[in-house]
Structure 1
């Protein structure tokens, strides 16, 4: 049987009810007692790197995960990470950039209800994850949740309570898992050896454009970060009426070496700044980057990874538009 390393970070799946709400308290060994059938499909070892609500997940935890996977990579056939759902998509995206070209599966899963609850989705999500981890056709970073396998750079939490928590944005599901059967739609190419990264620059901000928002807020964020993502409306653009001065702010800060990326608040289909004048004028006057079909979670994590490697604007641009784990296909 294949050997799988189960890595614990906490989350709802490991939570117990307390007088103050759900709190991660269960160990991985406790969790595994609820799913004895996993022992029939693979050998499992466990490592608990933390036991926290995923609201508390930070880039430091991503580095811990990468180091754990790197230190154990040659010992196991795959990895299953138990993680809270709130930031799971960010962690999946981060690992996609920090562990590139993995021929072995690195799967994230969790649950909307704790595993000790009668109606929990925990048991099926975990079993599906281990089943998929032993499948010969899988490699790289993915989320396995509610019978769906989602590429790590394309996952977004789209429901707060339903078991169908995650959607694949601008990309098909890699596979579905039904009644213990894997139906594989897309086979990813397997690389010979993984490349690990453990350096991130976390000075990446996200500015959500709202009606009446002042450009001074964007300027404040650019002053304190090395890169800022503007999450605009529709296909992307900035307010251009005389009372706004977004163009000047963006021009000034890019001239000072800051990176600015335009993306959209709309979940599907991506940005296209050439469609409207409010986008075209900005893109034609300043060297702003555009996310196109990339999801915000991936843009945030990719910028952290890129800025951890270089500060050169041309290299940043080249890396940003380099497709990694099918994150940008426009």
Structure 2
């Protein structure tokens, strides 16, 4: 029996062509499906166009729209493929992971670095990987790119031009494609989920702050005055926040005491943070900041937006931030090698 797959198109480079102001999405879902018709043998594929945007313009409102469409359609399909621009694809993948807890089918986001109309495009191969992962019966949210399948909360765009633009950060691939076909991570194959929920509210009153030497502590007061309810701070190294001359740790503590949720992580892409190692890290945790461990920046900020959208109680937000909800926290055995 052929797997029944829904392809939801949202725009992005894959659907783009040149216009007077540069590349912009112009192909609809039906046109994309025609261009990948050679890949759909063995699948029953339907398509829907939800919106057509460069992913730089995809924001929490679109995350909510997309989550609701997936939630409504999920029971009629074995899997869902989402065509999405690459620039914010990792943010959307994380957002959907939190908005659709317990999703029972594979939801696979993909896109391309080159428009599908270009003969050298990576679009066709990425769509192939997405279709096969969508038919895998491995529930969850994933990113398919360059023959790799990445857990949604672990994906990050690490290159701007290359076809291997996405990487799985601090986590093994969910699957990969090689001469043996689609090879699923054995741990993933054992997963099963039932009873999907829809929790699609996201707060926009957040800020992502990357520290640099000499940054003023006044920035936290300015964020509060702007109505910010939560901030994700990318500290130095394994977990460092300055307290000499310009004491950011005290400024963070004052912000926390006035009701702001402050999450802290590392600017380093790999291996995560541990704010217990150095005094500069311990001081900020003692002030009430919440550590994000080895979460990606995309997962940390979207999780903070999601948690603030779900709970009014700031202590509940902090509690949720340190729970592993969708594979965003914790270290697994490296299956990539």
Task: State the TM bucket, normalised to the shorter chain.
Answer: over 0.9
CA deviation after TM superposition for structure 1 residue 171, in Å: 0.2
Name the counterpart of 2:265.
263
Find the counterpart in structure 2 of residue 275 from structure 1: 277
1:80 to 2:72 alignment: no
Contact map agreement 1:12 1:111 (CA 8 A) in 2: yes
1:178-257 superposed matches below 5 A: 178=178, 181-188=181-188, 189-223=191-225, 224-242=227-245, 244-257=246-259
> Runs ≥4 in structure 1, deviation > 3 angstroms?
none
What CA distance in whole angstroms lies between the structure 2 residues aligned with 1:282 and 1:176? 39
Task: Give the secondary-structure state (helix, strand or coil) at the position aligned to 1:73.
Answer: helix
CA distance in structure 2 between the aligned counterparts of 1:83 and 1:191, rounded to whole angstroms: 25
Structure 2: segments with no counterpart, 5+ residues:
332-337
* 8 A contact 2:253–2:289 mirrored in 1: no
| Greater Cα shift, 274-283 or 100-109 | 274-283
Cα separation, 1, equivalents of 2:4 and 2:19: 35
**How far apart are residue 114 of structure 1 and its match?**
0.3
C-alpha deviation, 1:38, in angstroms: 3.0
Instruction: Encode CA deviations 1:176-198: one digit per residue, 9 max, x unaligned.
Output: 01258111124431112211112
Unaligned runs of 5+ in 1: none
Structure 1 segment 1-330 matched on structure 2, within 5 A:
1-136=2-137, 138-178=138-178, 181-188=181-188, 189-223=191-225, 224-242=227-245, 244-284=246-286, 286-329=287-330
Contact 2:113 2:161 in 1 (8 A): yes
Cα 1:180–1:118, aligned 2, differ >3 Å: closer, same or farther?
farther
Residues 157, 167 of structure 1: 8 Å contact kept: yes
- CA offset at residue 19 of structure 1? 3.2
SS at match of 1:33: helix
Deviations along 1:247-280, one digit per CA (max 9) or x if unpaired, are 2321211111110011111000111111111111
SS in 1 for 2:108: strand
Q: CA deviation at 1:39?
A: 3.0
Give the match's secondary structure for 2:153.
coil
Aligned with 2:6: secondary structure? strand
Contact 1:222-1:228 within 8 A present in 2 as well: no
Is the contact made by 1:5 and 1:78 (CA closer than 8 Å) also made in structure 2? yes
**Cα offset, 1:146, TM superposition:** 0.4
Aligned residues: 327
1:77-122: CA deviation from partner (whole Å, max 9, x where unpaired) = 1110000000000000000000111120000000000000010000
The whole-number CA distance in structure 1 between the counterparts of 2:150 and 2:322 is 21
Shift of 1:162: 0.2
TM-score w.r.t. length of structure 1: 0.96
Q: Within 2, Cα distance between the matches of 1:180 and 1:31? A: 27
* Root mean square deviation, CA, Å: 1.4
CA contact (8 A) 1:128 1:180 kept: no
In structure 2, distance between residues paired with 1:180 and 1:147: 12
Cα distance in 2 between the residues matched to 1:89 and 1:149: 13
* TM-score, normalization by structure 2: 0.94
